[in-house]
Chain A
């Protein structure tokens, strides 16, 4: 019985620590913003908003649906579940009204792309953020 409790406590700790390891919004340094509203982010990540106010294209980068980074960003920053986001993309892609975001497999790749692509937006864990990208707060 004690072992069970101990296993449960360890499990709980793991859960808490993994959710504490949250991701932050990052953009390419050429975009001159300090923060974005959640509504604007939802429009961007559901691929309905395609350009920054200066007219430059928005390039959206995401990781796989089942990665903890994507789940964390979807749920805690956008307030939607990954499956809801995927359905929104599919609705756009297969009706001809929009395009899909660009997928990267690792945070290193995410950092690389956000750093090198003008107009890029994505997310990274705090440990992986450096001066190559701009970290943004969400209003």
Chain B
């Protein structure tokens, strides 16, 4: 017998030792050690991708073929009682010049169900937790749960990944099941770990921007599921304000409001997903041109997947991102800022294949045709003037999780 997929680790003495420590810390008797199977779990994942682009850089020096997309994660959870659980996950993520693979505390949380009646419950999570945002944010770094090799950039930007990734604070959750209908609410409040990717995306990198969060990130998600997830509908939202210092302009602030509407239909063999994102940005205090640069970004993707065999899935996805939702071709923004229009939108068509070799091992292959450069990172690309409008992206991924 083993906890799903983690048999080698479950038997490891180190885990037993950790378990003993956990138990002694909580004053439980040693006889309860026998009940550990299942209550203490260790899981993890290893992902390596290869990325090749015809122009521009995405997840590394991809024009020459990049191996700089790698994700390693390990987590442990312990269920003290049916209604109390602690969990922690460490993550190393190499993503071109955006992330260097250093070890991060992905989450470390304690969740407690305060009220429970059958499938209905109300509870609280405290610590660092992953934000429930859209359909995929909370497990976006786990290849086995992603809708493709890359997250759809129209909703889940990699260049500003940290903005909604996680929170240090508290989360309230509630689930209500009425016959075939399930309603789930999550309310989040906490500090967002801001990094250089965020700083250099919302302000020009040439200004050496440094940002600090003013107040808390507040938001949440409302999710409706019908018939065990045959149909899902969700609305997510988060607001945050960043105080910014630059080398040139007066100090100012950036107000970000991030909203996503998600819909998904799953039949056994095929599924259809649509997510739409709107993000009003408000700049103030920087003066002149910057403050006048308020905009509302938007974007959406539509993805259809079809299961060819028990272990083989084919998908097609179309996505679009706009820097200004009123200016879908980027022309007005381009005129105002003196750059080419393709810097202010992207249109991506992707075809992909997923092969689930075993329960834990997956292989993906994808091809994308891209028009536009909006989601390219400033950290790994030359200035906007030197980016190419039309480019293709080919990628392969192997991932193992247990």
A and B are partners in one complex rather than unrelated chains = yes
List residues of chain A with CB under 8 Å of any chain B CB: 38-40, 42-43, 46, 48-51, 53, 55-59, 62, 64-66, 75, 78-84, 86-91, 93-97, 99-104, 109, 113
Cross-interface CB contact of A91 among B39, B73, B107, B139, cutoff 8 Å: B139
Number of B interface residues in the complex (CB < 8 A): 54
B82 touches A81 (CB 8 A): no
Closest CB in chain A relative to B312 CB, distance in Å? 10
Q: Which residues from A are CB-within-8-Å of B73?
A: 94
A50 touches B75 (CB 8 A): no
Closest CB in chain A relative to B258 CB, distance in Å? 19
B138 touches A91 (CB 8 A): yes
A83 touches B356 (CB 8 A): yes
A102 touches B130 (CB 8 A): no
Q: Which residues from B are CB-within-8-Å of A94?
A: 43, 45, 73, 75, 89, 139, 142, 145, 401
B82 touches A56 (CB 8 A): yes
Q: Which residues from A are CB-within-8-Å of B379?
A: none
B119 touches A99 (CB 8 A): no
For the A-B complex with A91-B138, A109-B1 known, give 15 more contacts whose Cβ atoms are closer than 8 Å. Answer: A38-B228, A39-B119, A50-B82, A53-B118, A57-B39, A87-B144, A93-B77, A94-B401, A97-B87, A97-B138, A99-B85, A102-B4, A103-B2, A103-B4, A103-B5
B395 interfacial by beta-carbon distance below 8 Å: no
Q: Which residues from B are CB-within-8-Å of A88?
A: 229
Q: Which residues from B are CB-within-8-Å of A100?
A: 3-6, 41, 43
A50 vs B123: C-alpha distance in the bound complex, in angstroms?
13
- Output the nearest chain B residue to A61 by Cβ-Cβ distance: B1
Task: Indicate whether A48 sits within 8 Å of B139 (C-beta atoms), given known contacts A42-B228, A79-B228, A99-B85.
Answer: no
Q: Which residues from A are CB-within-8-Å of B142?
A: 90, 94
Closest CB in chain B relative to A44 CB, distance in Å? 8
> Can you name 15 A-B pairs with beta carbons within 8 Å?
A53-B117, A57-B79, A58-B82, A80-B268, A87-B145, A91-B145, A94-B43, A94-B45, A99-B3, A99-B85, A101-B4, A103-B1, A103-B5, A104-B1, A113-B1
A48 vs B121: C-alpha distance in the bound complex, in angstroms?
10
Q: Which residues from B are CB-within-8-Å of A46?
A: 228
Cross-interface CB contact of A66 among B144, B179, B310, cutoff 8 Å: B310
Q: Which residues from A are CB-within-8-Å of B229?
A: 80, 84, 88
Cross-interface CB contact of A99 among B2, B38, B268, cutoff 8 Å: B38
Q: Which residues from B are CB-within-8-Å of A103?
A: 1-5
B214 interfacial by beta-carbon distance below 8 Å: no
A57 vs B38: C-alpha distance in the bound complex, in angstroms?
11
B241 interfacial by beta-carbon distance below 8 Å: no
Q: Which residues from A are CB-within-8-Å of B87?
A: 96-97
Task: Indicate whether A48 sits within 8 Å of B175 (C-beta atoms), given known contacts A91-B138, A94-B43.
Answer: yes
B208 interfacial by beta-carbon distance below 8 Å: no
Q: Which residues from B are CB-within-8-Å of A65?
A: 359
Closest CB in chain A relative to B59 CB, distance in Å? 20
Interface flags for B84-126 (1: CB within 8 Å of A; 0: not) read 0101110000000000000000010101010011110000010
Cross-interface CB contact of A83 among B175, B228, B307, B401, cutoff 8 Å: B307
Closest CB in chain A relative to B93 CB, distance in Å? 13
B4 touches A97 (CB 8 A): no
B315 interfacial by beta-carbon distance below 8 Å: no
Task: Indicate whether A96 sits within 8 Å of B75 (C-beta atoms), given known contacts A59-B38, A102-B37, A103-B1.
Answer: yes
A97 touches B111 (CB 8 A): yes
B54 interfacial by beta-carbon distance below 8 Å: no
Within 8 A of A (CB), among B195-220: none
A90 vs B144: C-alpha distance in the bound complex, in angstroms?
7
B156 interfacial by beta-carbon distance below 8 Å: no
A122 vs B229: C-alpha distance in the bound complex, in angstroms?
21
A95 touches B179 (CB 8 A): no
A118 vs B377: C-alpha distance in the bound complex, in angstroms?
53
B177 interfacial by beta-carbon distance below 8 Å: yes
Closest CB in chain B relative to A122 CB, distance in Å? 12
- Output the nearest chain B residue to A45 by Cβ-Cβ distance: B228
Q: Which residues from A are CB-within-8-Å of B359?
A: 64-66, 86
Cross-interface CB contact of B119 among A40, A57, A64, A78, cutoff 8 Å: A40
Closest CB in chain A relative to B141 CB, distance in Å? 8
Task: Indicate whether A78 sits within 8 Å of B89 (C-beta atoms), given known contacts A59-B38, A93-B43, A102-B38.
Answer: no
A42 vs B119: C-alpha distance in the bound complex, in angstroms?
10
Q: Of B38, B87, B144, which is in contact with the most chain A CB atoms at under 10 Å from its CB? A: B38
B118 touches A95 (CB 8 A): no
A46 vs B227: C-alpha distance in the bound complex, in angstroms?
13
B129 interfacial by beta-carbon distance below 8 Å: yes
B369 interfacial by beta-carbon distance below 8 Å: no
Closest CB in chain B relative to A36 CB, distance in Å? 10
